[in-house]
Structure 1
Amino acid sequence: MPHLSQIIFFVIGCFASFALMCLVFPNLFTRKQTFYPKPVITNFESRLFKRLNEAFPHHHVLAQVAFSALITHDNMKMRAKFNRKVTDFVLLDQSYKVIAIIELDDPTHIGKEQEDAERDAMLIAAGYMVMRYTEIPTVRQLQRDLK
């Protein structure tokens, strides 16, 4: 059976260890939420954003538009399928009507073709034209594609 002095030393040791851990790792026992800024669009996407504005100077180009701003569904389970999805660009005419949704696929999309097709299918089912590019198109190509 341990002596009282051994128990006291054990308890003091535990408290000392806990205090040391709190000093060395101050966030160990707290759920501190730190928020950081991030770019709205990538450098690659910014080139297409500029090109879209050149090709359609009398239109509005929106970047990073949530699917939930574009489509809805009566079934909550179906809404969950697009709840956290975002389009790269939306082209609006002067009366703010959607002309097209433009997606720019960089190398991170390799292997995600099925997922991209499902995303496109939802938008197309809602009546939108979806254009998908793997490289930055020319002004003429954009104008031709989005006639």
Structure 2
Amino acid sequence: MFNSHETLFFIIGCLALIAFLVICFGQNLFRKKEYYSKPVITAFEQKMFLRLKEAFPQYHVLAQVAFSALITANEYKLRSRFNRKVTDFVILDQSFRVLSIIELDDPSHIGQEKRDAERDAMFHQAGYQVLRYTSIPSVRQLKKDLPHS
């Protein structure tokens, strides 16, 4: 069988392999996987939500709505363009029809104009109105911008 030197080298080799695997992959193996809560909307979006509720008490205001709840496509490949995307706010009338999609563009949108235009184009093609704001508009401005109010 094995002599004592071969056995010792085999054991050292196995231990080295185990040590290597633990160093490379062990961090995730031994770390407890936990889930954490986070705010549904940012402080900036909270202010906008309250402004929308103030401007449109007769309507339903939804926050953080998945694109897939609003649009679909006849080709599966096209769905990947909006899969896992979320819009800031959706205004629904009393019959739960979408009146408008509201996007609140904070400074993280700077340089993202092309991406935002592509997102808006999807909604426009589906028949939705998209309103974009870089700051929180007045109640008067919101009522002016939303033609159904």
Same fold (TM over 0.5): yes
2:12 counterpart residue number: 13
Q: Distance in 1 between matches of 2:111 and 2:138?
A: 26
Q: Deviations over 1:61-99 (max 9, x none)?
A: 001111111111111121221122111000011111111
Please report the RMSD computed on the Cα atoms of aligned residues, expressed in angstroms: 2.6
Q: Distance in 2 between matches of 1:33 and 1:80?
A: 28
Q: Distance in 1 between matches of 2:47 and 2:128?
A: 23
Specify every segment of 5 or more residues in structure 1 that has no aligned partner in the other structure, as ranges.
none
Q: Is the Cα–Cα contact under 8 Å of residues 22 and 28 in structure 1 kept in the other structure?
A: no
1:4 is aligned to 2:3: yes
- State the shift of 1:102 in Å: 0.1
Aligned-pair identity in percent equals 58
Q: Which amino acid aligns with 1:122?
A: M
1:129 counterpart residue number: 129
SS of the counterpart of 1:123? helix
Q: Distance in 1 between matches of 2:97 and 2:11?
A: 70
Q: Deviations over 1:21-52 (max 9, x none)?
A: 759x8544579754332221111111101110
Q: Is the Cα–Cα contact under 8 Å of residues 66 and 87 in structure 1 kept in the other structure?
A: yes
When residues 37 and 8 of structure 1 are mapped into structure 2, their CA distance, relative to the original with a 3 A threshold, is same
- State the shift of 1:19 in Å: 6.7
